[in-house]
Structure 1
Amino acid sequence: MGDIIEQLYMAFVGMLSLAFFGGLAFYIIHASNSRWREYELLYAVIEPRVPIAKKLAGMVRISQPGFRWGHLSGDLKSHRHPPVVVGVHDDGLTLSIAPPFRYGCRDLFLPFSKMSVEPTQWDMLDNTYGIRMEGVEGIEILMFANILEWAALESEVLALMLQRAEIIRGLESA
């Protein structure tokens, strides 16, 4: 009888430990995607859209505007999202985190009419751009220049935004 009670006790402890660490992992994942959810409130894709072109970007980062060194800058919510698929449309960009890294994040549609592209730095790289959207204050989506330059080949509006950002970058460095 003592062996059965011991086995039940060990099974209970094992399930409790598994539930604790599963809950901790869920909390970490949920907290890491809090900035993405700020964009979801205004810019979640309602209906599927077919892009003119799409490309797998290395990653994007959502953080406060300006030069940042990740968590060392004090921006504890800064998060680098793994492979993100960027889609180009006539009127905006779609961002979709590639599976299996989605963690329940919905796709975003960022309309050009509510977007501004600013020059920024990401760690030691200075050829990145920050996408700032109306209604989402104090944070921006940082992307590598090669992805936005590729997207600008498909969109004249985005090409003009990148030209403006490069003029600003040139004025800041002068």
Structure 2
Amino acid sequence: MGGIIDQVYLTIISMVSLAFFGGLAFYIIHASNSRWREYELLYAAIEPRETKTRKLAGMLRISQPGFRWGHLSGDLKSNRHPPVMVGVHHDGLSLTIVPPFRYGCRDLFLPFDRMTIEPAAWDFSDRAFGIQMEGVDGIEIVMFANVMEWAAEHSDILALMLQRADLVRGLQRA
């Protein structure tokens, strides 16, 4: 009889521990994707679109505009998203977090007519660009210059936006 009670006790303790750590993991995942969800409210990709081209872009960062050095900058919601697939369309960019890192994040479609590209700094690299969208104030999507320049090769509108951002970057340095 004592063996059965021990087994029931260990089962209950195991289930409570698993529920606690599962809940903690869910909370961390949910909190780390809060900035992505701010973009999902206005820019979730509802319908599939035909892309001109797609590329695995490594990671991107969603944070407040300006120089950031991770959480040391005071922006506790700044998050780096793992491998992201960038798609170039005739009227915008699509962003998809690669599985299994998605954790419930929907794809984004960022139309060019609601987009502004600004020069950005990412850690030690000053060759990054920040995508700022109408309706999502105070945060930007930061991508490395090589990804944005690749996308600009396939979109004249984006190429003009990057030229403007490079001019602004040159004026800031002067």
- Classify the TM-score, shorter chain: over 0.9
**What is the SS of the residue equivalent to 2:164?**
helix
| Deviation per residue, 1:50-70 (Å, 9 max, x gap) | 210000001000000000111
Match in the other structure for 1:65: 65
Q: Provide the residue aligned with 2:109 in structure 1.
A: 109
SS in 1 for 2:109: strand
Show the counterpart of 1:53: 53
Tell me the secondary structure at the aligned position of residue 47 of structure 1. Answer: coil
Structure 2 residue 29 is matched with structure 1 residue 32? no
Q: What is the distance in 2 between the residues matched to 1:70 and 1:166?
A: 24
Deviation at 1:115, TM superposition (A): 0.2
Residue equivalent to 1:122: 122
Q: Distance in 2 between matches of 1:100 and 1:50?
A: 23
Aligned to 1:90: 90
Aligned equivalent of 2:22? 22
1:160 correspondence with 2:160: yes
Counterpart residue identity of residue 99, structure 2: P
- Structure 1: which amino acid aligns with 2:124? M
Task: Report the identity percentage.
Answer: 73
Distance in 2, matches of 1:146 and 1:23, equals: 38
Give, in angstroms, the shift of residue 49 of structure 1.
1.2
Q: Which runs of 5+ in 1 are unaligned?
A: none
Three-state SS of the structure 1 residue aligned to 2:11 is helix
Which deviations, in whole Å up to 9, do the C-alpha atoms of 1:15-69 show, x marking residues without a partner?
1100100000000000000000000000000101121000000100000000011
How far apart are the structure 2 equivalents of 1:150 and 1:120?
Answer: 17
Match of 1:139 in 2: 139
Distance in structure 2 (CA, Å) of the matches to 1:103 and 1:140: 21
Q: Give me the whole-angstrom Cα distance separating, in 1, the residues matched to 2:58 and 2:126.
A: 16
**What stretches of structure 1 move > 6 A for 4+ residues in a row?**
none
Structure 2, unpaired ranges of 5+: none
Amino acid at match of 2:53: A
Distance 1:152 1:120 in 2: 17
For residues 106-146 of structure 1, give each alpha carbon's deviation from its aligned partner in whole angstroms, at most 9, with x where no partner exists. 00000000000000100110000000000000000000000
